[in-house]
């Protein structure tokens, strides 16, 4: 069965058209193929799963409406790396899956599906953090997974697993006996004190501290000499020298220590390297020095050793020897570790990072705009510099400075009538954007405010207002100049708080109350009714006319329902069985032809469209009914007998009275014949 399924998936991959025509189908097939290989027990199959799922993520990230598929692929990538014992990659993929989930729009997936995704992402992140020795972070993620389980029903597949995440993590840290404390997840740490507490398990050598230390660094392709050197040094990947010995070694080599200006330049380089790394892996920018320190402090012990600093620079940040030589890194370490404690605390590292305060602020703002806006990937270094200059130029001004600038330029502020017109314009722009994006119309002012409040903070800044107008609503400079937008902002932010709350914005939107009600009703009718897209203006008018007649209860629509235009939609009624004609009754009205409106007549009513009957049957049924009509006409045209038959039934009282009234008024045809 697995072989048949693998062959089917391979044929599906071969049949998918090339991108961009078959991008969505290709991403789905890649996801299914990766999940299939992930279920296989071999290591080779899991490596194939990693390749297929990574390709799926690369395609799904750029497809509209495929964000949930990208998150699912990242979560399965986390499981794949955990099964391959690649804990660092598993932790990175789990973090990226959680970030991608948080960036999803609220209306892209259901609330229950979002809770499932968040719970699974938190649970995988908990396992990855626990496997890398970050127990406090794992406990926090376990609590978040338990909170996500609250919004799931009791019978859900992941409800029990997410609900017991914190209990499972606590049980994993309970000691089995006095001399041994093992965790269910394989921990990776660099603290010697932690290694001494974790005794090796005889039955499972993969849990030993030496094995965990050796597997952190790879020597693939390094040769037998490097392998022997690593074994002789007791499994230590890096033999760190004490700071005192490192200082004397640099003095022997004649390497100078960096002065105050050199330390500042190195601090700026470190900040740029860390921010580039975070931008590359879609991580949030560092707003504080603690976040910068967390990149260096791998084991979250509260201090940084030289091993951690070296590994972060070479392995994590990918800084080459040419950009930062080893002697310069050692010299920086000697300067920072002034007390020769062989470690750097948070306070010592924060003093170093504070030298690059201006660089950190600029990079944080630029990265935030770049993550939420456009990118210049592949445009070159000049475009990156130009974008940085534009970001600094577009930095939001305080409202007081903006007011003074407009007054200096002589730009008038909008009055009451101008505010009302701007309110109606902005409302129309928002509703047009919602109609284009197939979103529900704004029934209240809170929904209008939510479009402007991008970060859901409860207030709107000038940056959010300008970005919403230019990027989201696509309002051109000609329709709303920048000076007019600033003048509107100055009027709305009357208290100079540099932000607009919900109440202040609702007062502005209430000026377009009549437009809101009209647009809401029109959009509701348009979305709930029929569409004539591509049918032309005449059909639109005709559909509107028929809709008005249907709402007024026009009975003539029932007559038109049998016309050829509506005959395809009318139900096919089977023909009635043929009636046996009764003998004619002697009556003054017996010789007259039956009227079309008489219910006893066999003749169907004729429609004005091409003279066809409104019965709506098949051609065979129409021919049968035509024969019946001809037979009825022949019977009705036979001469009436002079004497009524003996078996004649008693005449109806109503018929007799009607005949008497008619005979009193005018002579009948029978009396004229007898005379």
Q: What does each C-alpha distance from 352 to 334, 337, 343, 652 come to in angstroms?
A: 13, 11, 14, 116
**Residues counted in the chain:** 675
Nearest to residue 584, comparing CAs of 604, 600, 603, 605? 600
SS3 breakdown of the chain: % helix, strand, coil, rounded to 5? 60, 0, 40
Say if residues 313 and 319 touch (Cβ distance below 8 Å).
Answer: yes
- Burial group, residue 433, by CB count within 10 angstroms (0-12, 13-18, 19+): middle
Confirm or deny that 518 is annotated as ligand binding.
no
Confirm or deny that 495 is annotated as ligand binding.
yes
Write out the DSSP string of 538-591.
HHHHHHHHHHHHHHTT-THHHHHTTSTTTTTTS--PPPPPPPPPPPPP--TTTT
Confirm or deny that 455 is annotated as ligand binding.
yes
Can you tell me the distance from the alpha carbon of 95 to that of 640, in angstroms, rounded to the nearest whole number? Answer: 100
Give Cβ neighbours of residue 369 (< 8 Å, ≥ 6 apart): 391, 394
Write out the DSSP string of 624-636.
HHHHHHHHHHHHH
Q: What does each C-alpha distance from 276 to 269, 279, 609 come to in angstroms?
A: 10, 5, 75
Say if residues 343 and 305 touch (Cβ distance below 8 Å).
Answer: yes
Confirm or deny that 464 is annotated as ligand binding.
yes
Can you tell me the distance from the alpha carbon of 458 to that of 453, in angstroms, rounded to the nearest whole number? Answer: 7
Question: Which residues, listed in sequence order, are joined to residue 606 by a DSSP beta bridge?
Answer: 613
Can you tell me the distance from the alpha carbon of 636 to that of 590, in angstroms, rounded to the nearest whole number? Answer: 8
Give the chain's radius of gyration (CA, Å): 42
User: What totals of helices (H) and strands (E) does the chain contain, helices first?
Assistant: 32, 4
Confirm or deny that 437 is annotated as ligand binding.
no
Sole residue written with tokens 């700071």: 243
Confirm or deny that 504 is annotated as ligand binding.
yes
Confirm or deny that 307 is annotated as ligand binding.
no
Angle at Cα 318 formed by Cα 317 and Cα 319, nearest 5°?
95
Query: Which residues in 481-493 are b (16+ Cβ under 10 Å) and which e?
Result: eeebbbbbbbbbb
Say if residues 70 and 100 touch (Cβ distance below 8 Å).
Answer: yes
Confirm or deny that 497 is annotated as ligand binding.
no
Annotated binding site for Ca(2+): 453, 455, 457, 459, 464, 493, 495, 504
Annotated binding site: 453, 455, 457, 459, 464, 493, 495, 504
């Amino acid at each position: 069965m697995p072989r048949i399924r693998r062959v089917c998936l391979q044929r599906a991959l071969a049949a998918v058209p090339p991108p961009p025509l078959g991008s969505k189908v290709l991403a789905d097939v890649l996801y299914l193929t990766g999940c299939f290989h992930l279920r296989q027990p071999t290591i080779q199959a899991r490596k194939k799963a990693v390749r297929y799922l990574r390709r799926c993520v690369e395609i799904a990230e750029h497809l509209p409406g495929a964000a949930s598929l990208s998150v699912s692929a990242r979560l399965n990538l986390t499981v794949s790396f955990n099964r391959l014992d690649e804990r660092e990659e598993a932790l990175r993929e789990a973090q990226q899956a959680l970030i991608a989930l948080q960036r999803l729009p609220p209306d892209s997936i259901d609330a229950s599906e979002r809770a499932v995704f968040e719970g699974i992402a938190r649970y995988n992140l908990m396992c990855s953090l626990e496997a890398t020795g970050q127990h406090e972070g794992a406990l926090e993620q376990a609590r978040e997974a338990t909170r996500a389980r609250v919004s799931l029903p009791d019978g859900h597949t992941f409800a029990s697993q997410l609900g017991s995440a914190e209990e499972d993590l606590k049980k994993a840290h309970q000691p089995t006996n006095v001399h041994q404390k093992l965790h269910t997840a394989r921990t990776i740490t660099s603290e010697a004190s932690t290694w001494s507490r974790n005794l090796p398990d005889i039955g499972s050598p993969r849990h030993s501290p030496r094995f965990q230390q050796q597997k952190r660094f790879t020597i693939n392709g390094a040769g037998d000499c490097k392998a022997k050197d690593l074994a002789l040094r007791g499994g230590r990947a890096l033999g760190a020298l004490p700071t005192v010995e490192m200082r004397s070694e640099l003095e022997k080599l004649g390497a100078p220590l960096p002065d105050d200006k050199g330390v500042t330049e190195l601090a700026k380089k470190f900040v740029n390297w860390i921010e580039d790394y975070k931008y590359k892996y879609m991580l949030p920018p560092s707003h504080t020095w603690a976040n910068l320190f967390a990149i260096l402090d791998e084991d979250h012990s509260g201090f940084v050793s030289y091993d951690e600093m070296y590994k972060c620079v070479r392995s994590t940040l990918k800084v080459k020897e040419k950009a930062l030589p080893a002697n310069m890194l050692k010299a920086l370490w000697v300067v920072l570790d002034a007390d020769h404690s062989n470690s750097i605390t948070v306070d010592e590292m924060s003093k170093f990072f504070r030298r690059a305060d201006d660089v950190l602020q600029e990079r944080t703002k630029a990265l935030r705009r770049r993550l939420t806006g456009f990118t210049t990937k592949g445009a070159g270094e000049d475009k990156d510099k130009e974008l940085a200059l534009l970001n600094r130029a577009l930095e939001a001004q305080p409202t007081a400075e903006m007011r003074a600038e407009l007054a200096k330029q002589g730009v008038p502020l909008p009055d009451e009538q101008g505010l009302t017109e701007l309110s109606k314009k902005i409302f129309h722009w928002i509703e047009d954007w919602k109609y284009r994006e197939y979103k529900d119309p704004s029934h209240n002012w809170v929904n209008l405010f939510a479009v402007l409040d991008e970060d859901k903070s409860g207030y709107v800044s000038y940056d959010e207002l300008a970005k919403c107008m230019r990027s989201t609503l696509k309002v051109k400079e000609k329709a709303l100049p920048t000076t007019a937008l600033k003048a509107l902002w100055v009027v709305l932010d009357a208290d100079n708080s540099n932000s607009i709350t919900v109440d202040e914005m609702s007062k502005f939107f209430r000026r377009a109350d009549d437009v809101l009600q009209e647009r809401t009703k029109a959009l509701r009718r348009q979305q709930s009714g029929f569409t004539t897209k591509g049918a032309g203006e005449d059909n639109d008018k005709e559909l509107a006319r028929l809709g008005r007649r249907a709402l007024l209860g026009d009975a003539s629509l029932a007559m038109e329902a049998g016309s050829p235009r509506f005959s395809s939609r009318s139900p096919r009624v089977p023909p009635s069985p043929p009636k046996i004609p009764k003998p004619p009754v002697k009556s003054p009205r017996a010789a007259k032809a039956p009227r079309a409106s008489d219910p006893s007549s066999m003749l169907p009513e004729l429609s004005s469209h091409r003279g066809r009957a409104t019965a709506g049957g098949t051609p065979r049924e129409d021919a049968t009914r035509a024969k019946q009509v001809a037979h009825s006409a022949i019977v009705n045209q036979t001469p009436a007998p002079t004497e009524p038959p003996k078996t004649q039934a008693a005449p109806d009282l109503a018929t007799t009275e009607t005949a008497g009234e008619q005979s009193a008024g005018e002579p009948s045809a029978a009396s004229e014949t007898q005379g």
